[in-house]
Amino acid sequence: MGTATFIQDQTEFDSLLATESFLVVDCTATWCGPCRLVAPLIDQLAAEYSDRAKVLKLDLDANQPIAKRFGIRSIPAVLFFKQGELIETLVGVKPYEEFSNAVKRLLS
């Protein structure tokens, strides 16, 4: 089963935005309780859509400029990018279906 790996820094993040046609980024932090609830759902998403979408995690404590850039004020926040452009953001703990439906809708 695939799991979502962490983006290391802003350089890697920008490179992914430039090269991936569809990118899902879970903005998280180690101290965030709700983020821990969302983490296994994001791993499930990474496994289910591994052939069509790149699903990754981003530690906002280590990447604050990215949080500022996209106006992230609360986490967990899951960002959906298509062709490098932010298309949708889901904030808070959601059921798996909500993340999955967003991917399906945006991929079609």
The residue annotated as part of the active site, out of 7, 35, 38, 75, is: 35
Distance between CA atoms of 22 and 69, rounded to whole angstroms? Answer: 19
Annotated catalytic residue 27: no
The residue annotated as part of the active site, out of 4, 7, 32, 45, is: 32
* Beta strand pairing call for 77-82 and 85-91: antiparallel
Nearest Cα neighbor of 58 from 10, 2, 1, 107 is 10
Beta strands in the chain (DSSP E): 5-7, 22-28, 54-59, 77-82, 85-91
Residue 19 and residue 7 in contact, taking contact as beta carbons nearer than 8 Å: no
Catalogue the active-site residues: 32, 35
